[in-house]
Amino acid sequence: MLFNNLIKGKLIKRYKRFLADVELEDGSIITAHCTNTGSMTSCIEEGAPVLLSPSNNPKRKTPFTWEMIWINNNWVGVNTNNANTIAFELVSNQLIPGLTNLSHLKREVKFGDSRFDIFGKDGEQEVWMEVKNVSMREGKKALFPDAPTTRGQKHLKTLMQLVKEGKRAAMIYLIQRSDVDFFETAKKVDFEYDRLLKNAKAKGVEVYPVQVLLSENEISFYRALDYV
């Protein structure tokens, strides 16, 4: 995923979940849109450098979107809307081990009362994929979720149903930071999600934690991490 002309600034504060005040390099202070509705644990540091993307919509109340923050000597992606786009690019380019050679790739495909981020086919077998953005860090571990998620729990239950019907089902955890080496569920944050993911994997749902590298110009594939 490529970026053009990201705007540099420093974070003043994040508030009301969707808003962040940022001081730009010229000293002016603007309010940027924050797409991450979670707690953003371990990726908020007031005064840290941030990167913003300008909006092409002149009617938007916030003319910038908060894309990244510089923490622990690396850029951390905070724009959760990017996760689906990045994951689709990685699957399309066959960069995720285990999710290669898929055809009929589509985004945002409905199954029952759920909508999944990516759909494809492995030969004649359907492959349903859900993408989650990961930014929370604890030591060398990337953790998900950073807030309780009943929607995430529902997706896991539906993925298990898909496997039961003979289809492939997969969770892609898109880790937008490079200062971690392992992936785990945040049991203390959402014990039920942890239980469901373990159960889903045991029943055949594939789990792919994927780490990406972020720079001022692009977000690119780094490596796949294990989930045990």
So what's the pLDDT on residue 61? 87
Alpha-carbon radius of gyration of the chain: 18
Question: Judging by beta carbons within 10 Å of its beta carbon (0-12, 13-18, 19+), is residue 198 exposed, middle or buried?
Answer: middle
Compute the 3-state secondary structure of the chain and give helix, strand, coil in percent, each to the nearest 5.
Answer: 15, 45, 40
Q: Is 185 within 8 Å of 197 (Cβ atoms)? A: yes
Distance CA 132, CA 172 (A): 6
First to last CA, the chain: 29
Segment holding 107, helix H or strand E: strand 103-111
- The type of residue at 150 is T
| CA proximity to 176, closest of 220, 129, 227 | 220
**Backbone phi and psi for residue 193, each to the nearest 5 degrees, phi listed first:** -65, -40
* 76-84 average pLDDT score: 94
What 3-state DSSP class applies to 170? Answer: strand
Q: What angle do CA 130, 146, 202 make, to 5 degrees?
A: 50
> Which CA distances in Å does 183 have to 32, 83, 157?
30, 16, 21
Q: Tokens for 99?
A: 């999710």
pLDDT digits over 172-195, tens only?
999 999 999 999 999 999 999 999
Give pLDDT, residue 227.
86
Which residues, at least 6 apart from 118, have a Cβ–Cβ distance to it below 8 Å?
84, 87, 88, 91, 105, 106, 107, 109, 128, 129, 130, 131, 172
pLDDT at 228 over 80: no
| pLDDT at 140 (0 to 100) | 93
pTM: 0.93
What pLDDT is attached to residue 185? 96
Report whether pLDDT(113) > 90: no
User: Do 194 and 185 contact (CB within 8 A), yes or no?
Assistant: yes
In tens, the pLDDT along 12-63 reads: 999 988 999 999 999 999 999 999 888 888 889 999 999 999 988 888 889 9
In terms of pLDDT, which residue wins out, 212 or 37? 212
